[in-house]
Structure 1
C-alpha cells in the first residue's frame, strides 16, 4: 500500500519539460479549434434545416409569383424556378461544407486522443484534459 502512495506522490512531482509544454499547448490549440468547429457545425446544420423548410415552402408557391430570396443581407426577387435552382445549389454547397467540417473534426479528435494518451501517461491525474 505504501508503494502505491509513493507512486501517486511521484506522479504529482513530475517535471514538465519543454516538449511536454509544447504538447500541452498543442492540445489547447486543438481544443479551441474543435470548439470553434463544433459551433460552426451546429450553425450549418440549422441553416440546412432552414433550407429544407424553404424547399418545402417553395413547392407550395405559385409559379407566376416572384419569390424573394435572401442573399447575404438583401432579398432578391426572382422566378420560382430560379429560386428553386438557387436553393438546390446553396443546399448542396452547405452539405459539402458540413461534411468537410465533420471530416476536420474527426481528424482533430483523433489527434487530440493521441495527445491525451501521451499526456495522461506522463502526468496521470495531475492534468485534466476534459472539457
Structure 2
C-alpha cells in the first residue's frame, strides 16, 4: 500500500479508523503481498512449462532407441528417447496442474481483495489508496 499526499487545497476527511477497519487494511496488505508472491510463482511455473514443451518438441526429433541425457536431481542419466518423452509429459502435466491451482488461488485472493476494497472505499473514499 502506498501513501500519497492530497492535492493542494484539499483537506483530509475526518474519518476515524476503528479496530475493525485497521484489521481490514492489514488483511488487504497481507493479501496484496501474498498475491505478488503467487504471481511470481505463477510466472516461474509458466516459464518452466514453456521450457518443457520446447524440450519435448526438440526431443521428438531424436530416434526412439537413441539415448538422451536426462537430468534427475543433480545428475544426468542416459535414457532412451521414449522414456525421456514419457517423463517430460509427466512433468508437463504436473506443471499444468500447479498452474491451474495457482490460478485458482490468485483468483480467490483477488476476490477477497475486491471485497475489502469495496468496504474500505465505501467508508474512506479517496482518503485511502488500495491500488497496487
User: Shift in Å at residue 68 of structure 1?
Assistant: 1.2
- Counterpart CA distance in 1 for 2:103 and 2:74 is 27
SS of the aligned residue for 2:78 comes to: strand
TM-score of the pair, normalised by structure 2: 0.87
RMSD: 1.4
Q: Contact (CA 8 Å) 2:65, 2:82: kept in 1 or not?
A: no
Counterpart in the other structure of 2:23: 22
Alignment deviations for residues 14-49 of structure 1 (CA, whole Å, 9 cap, x no partner): 111110000000000100010000001111111111
- Counterpart CA distance in 2 for 1:52 and 1:14 is 54
- Counterpart CA distance in 1 for 2:23 and 2:50 is 40
Counterpart in the other structure of 1:58: 59
- Counterpart CA distance in 2 for 1:52 and 1:15 is 55
User: Shift in Å at residue 51 of structure 1?
Assistant: 0.6
Counterpart in the other structure of 1:111: 112
TM-score of the pair, normalised by structure 1: 0.88
Residue 88 of structure 2 corresponds to residue 90 of structure 1: no
Count residues with an aligned counterpart. Answer: 123
- Structure with more helix by fraction: 1
**Structure 1 stretches lacking a partner, 5+ long:** 1-7
